[in-house]
Amino acid sequence: MAEVHEDSAYTNPEVTIRMCEPYTNWNTIRENKSKLRDQYGLEGNMLFTNLVSMNIFTNMEETVINNIKDQHDRFDVIFPILYSKDPMAYQPLFLAALNNVNPRAADYLQGLLLSQDRTTPKSGTLYDVRRVKDILNDPNTIVNIDHFLDILSLKRVLSVVEEREIKRRSSYKGKIDASFDILLAQDTAEMYEKLIGTLREMGRSDIVEKIQQT
C-alpha cells in the first residue's frame, strides 16, 4: 500500500502536491465531483486504472469497482470509496492520478484547494461566531437546519439531548438561536472552525464565502 507522510509531498514529473489545510478532508473534491466529469470530461475508466496503479484500493474495493462495467456508474462508485480513506495519505495520490488522466481537471481542482487554504482562517473570535449566526438568520440564507444540527451532534458540539430539544422548536430562527446559545458558550476559535467545517460538509461553500468576506 502506498504511503504518504504528513510532512512530505508526493511528487511526479508533472505535478507537486503541497500538503495544506484542505487536504485534511474530501469536502472540496466531493463538492466538485460532478463538475470534473461533466465540464472537464473526466472518465471513470481511465481514473480507475491510474488509481489502481497507485495501490489506492484494497483487493475487495478493486473487485467491486471492476465488476461495474458502465463508466458512469463506475465513476459514481469510485468517489465514495475514496471519501472513506485518510485524505492526508490518499488525496495527494488521487490528485496525481487525476493529473495523469486529465491535467485540466487536476489544475482546476488544485487551484480550488490552494485557494481554500489561503482563505480558511485558522481561528475565529466571538465576533466571527456571532457573524455566522447573523448570516444563518438572514432570510436570504436558509440552510437545512435539521442536517446542520445532525452534523453538529456528530462533531460532539451538541449533545443528543440538546439536539433533540432544539429540534422541538417550531421555527427556523428559534432553532438557530437556541443552537447558538449553546455554541457561543464554548471555545470560540474551535467553534468557528467546526461551524465552517459543518457548512462545507453540507455543500454550502456559498455561505462560507459570505461569512469570510471582510
> Which region, left, alpha or beta, applies to residue 156 given φ > 0 means left and ψ of -120 to 50 means alpha?
left
* Integer Cα distance of 44 and 51 in angstroms: 10
Residue pointed to by grid coordinates 469510485: 78
The strand ranges marked E within 66-178 are none
Quote the distance between the C-alpha of residue 89 and its chain's center: 15
What is the model's pLDDT at position 132?
93
Average pLDDT score over the chain: 82
**Angle 32-35-39 from CA coordinates, rounded to 5°:** 155
Query: What confidence category does residue 115 fall into, taking pLDDT thresholds of 50, 70 and 90?
Result: low
Crossing angle of helices 103-119/27-38, nearest 10°? Answer: 150
Among 21-30, 106-115, 117-126, the least confident range: 117-126
pLDDT score recorded for residue 211:
85
Q: What is the pLDDT, as a whole number, of residue 98?
A: 92
How is residue 5 written as a grid cell? Answer: 507522510
Q: Is 33 exposed, middle or buried (0-12, 13-18, 19+ CB in 10 A)?
A: buried
pLDDT computed for residue 31 by the predictor: 84
What pLDDT is recorded for position 111?
78
**What single string gives the DSSP state of each residue in 173-189?**
HHHHHHHHHHHTTS-HH
Cα 2 from Cα 13, distance rounded (Å): 18
pTM metric for this prediction: 0.48
Give me the pLDDT at residue 116, please: 62
> What is the predicted pLDDT for the residue at 42?
93
**Which of 41-50, 87-96, 118-127, 204-213 shows the lowest per-residue confidence on average (mean pLDDT)?**
118-127
Dist. CA 192–CA 155, nearest whole Å: 13
pLDDT score for 46: 93
pLDDT digits (tens, 9 = 90+) for 4-60: 333 333 334 333 334 444 456 688 888 888 889 999 999 999 999 999 999 999 999
